Amino acid sequence: MNKNLLIIIYGLIVTMSVMYATQPLQPLLAQEFNITIIEASQFTAIILFFLAVAPIIYGYILEKVDAKKMLINASFILLITNIFLGLSKTYEFFLFFRFCEALVIPAILTSLMSILANIDKENVKFNMSIYVAGTVFGGLVGRIFSGFIATNLSYEYVFYSLSLAIFISIILIKKLEFDGEANIIKPKFSDVLNILKDRRFMVIYFVMFFVFFVFSGVLNVLPFRAKELEEGLSEFKIALLYVGYGMGVVVSLTSKRIVKFFQGEINTILFAVIFYIFTIAFLQIENILQLFMLLFLVCIGMFTTHTVSTQLANSMKASQKSLTSGMYLTFYYLGGASGSIVPSYIYKAFGWNIMLYVFIVLLLLVSFVVFFNRKLFKI
């Protein structure tokens, strides 16, 4: 791996760590700020929401932007906001600085992806697989790191440590050998409408909205469920429940073999969703160790659906690939943002099991949509 690629991977891991660092801390933050699970869930949901709308809004605000310059400026803002998160003593201030982070994280990820796509044009597919693996690994590292720091020091030091990591990232970014513009989509309404008229895209977008909705719901409520099962559970032990998230790296690197085994993308998606339904159903168990192991299977089901759906969405239209993938991410992250909030209401009102039953119904609907539209994808 060359120097530029390593710098981008490091920046990606740090950014994703910032995104998901609050997730295992949510019960602690809820107690610290005297807030409900619903309010605590907003710390993750707000960033996912801005990632959903970024492909639309950023295209109109930012015409031509130097990718490296945008990356440095956005990273500097992220550094400052993390310091203020550590200093925040009220829910309102904490949420405000997470909102500030939500504004710049899409800019950082867009810049990193643009640089990665253009820095070595002979290995674009390999670099994009590295990007996907880096986002998954960063989400895993961020959760475990924050749980460990919060348990052994305090939650404030999670954000101070991340600020230090961002500072190192900025120094490394300045050494990047790249001079180019960020690849920002400026969608036309007519183009969006034409893509949505294609039922195949509607099926894929529908699938990923609800698959990520369920996944976000499970992972966001998980810390509260863990505390419900074992009241004295530390933040680090809660964070370890997310280790199964690392299966996303394995799935993304073996997706071709998985598709070959199930004889096509749409068959793979259908089997992955059915497998996902069974794993969600078994999350009703009340043993922490068994819950830990089951989450590996949940992640396999989700990431298989996500990885193969991404590949399928990018292969269905020869032109406008930037727009189709941008729309995919919009539906994906809208599902994630909704899934970070709505299930919190269900959990608070009716409990964990009822929330899982709602998820199962939604996923059954997804499996029916895939099954009855599978012939659309036959070549």
Is the separation of the CB atoms in 273 and 305 below 8 Å? yes
**Per-residue pLDDT tens digits for 163-194:** 999 999 999 998 887 766 655 666 677 777 87
41 or 56: which leads in pLDDT = 41
3-state secondary structure the chain: CCHHHHHHHHHHHHHHHHHHCCHHHHHHHHHHHCCCHHHHHHHHHHHHHHHHHHHHHHHHHCCCCEHHHHHHHHHHHHHHHHHHHHHCCCHHHHHHHHHHHHHHHHHHHHHHHHHHHHHCHHHHHHHHHHHHHHHHHHHHHHHHHHHHHHHHCCHHHHHHHHHHHHHHHHHHHCCCCCCCECCCCCCCHHHHHHHHHCHHHHHHHHHHHHHHHHHHHHHHHHHHHHHHHCCCCCHHHHHHHHHHHHHHHHHHHHHHHHHHHCCCHHHHHHHHHHHHHHHHHHHHCCCHHHHHHHHHHHHHHHHHHHHHHHHHHHHCCCCCHHHHHHHHHHHHHHHHHHHHHHHHHHHHHHCHHHHHHHHHHHHHHHHHHHHHCHHHHCC
Taking the C-alpha atoms of 346, 348, 354 and 355 in order, what is their torsion angle to the nearest 10 degrees?
Answer: 50
Q: What pLDDT score was predicted for residue 317?
A: 64
315-367: per-residue pLDDT in tens? 766 555 567 777 888 899 999 999 999 999 999 999 999 999 999 999 999 99
For position 264, what pLDDT does the model report?
87
Beta bridge partners of 181: 66
pLDDT of residue 316: 67
φ, ψ at 181 (rounded to 5°): -95, 155
Query: Considering the chain, what is the average pLDDT of its residues?
Result: 87
Average pLDDT over residues 133-156: 91
Instruction: Give the pLDDT confidence of 246-256 residue by residue, as tens digits.
Output: 898 888 888 88
Residue 120: phi, psi to the nearest 5?
Answer: -150, 85
Residue 212: predicted pLDDT: 95
Q: What is the pLDDT of residue 318?
A: 56
* pLDDT at residue 208 in the model: 92
Nearest Cα residue to 136 out of 5, 244, 294, 50: 244
pLDDT at position 255 is 84
pLDDT of residue 136: 87
The model's confidence at residue 1, banded by pLDDT at 50, 70 and 90, is low
pLDDT value for 221: 94
Which of the pair, 110 or 81, is modelled with greater confidence?
A: 81
The tally of CA atoms less than 13 A away on the side-chain side of residue 133 is: 14
Q: 66 pairs with which residues across the strands?
A: 181
Report the Cα 241 to chain-centroid distance in Å: 17
- Kindly report, residue by residue over 52-107, the tens digit of the pLDDT: 887 667 655 555 677 788 889 999 999 999 999 999 999 999 999 999 999 999 88
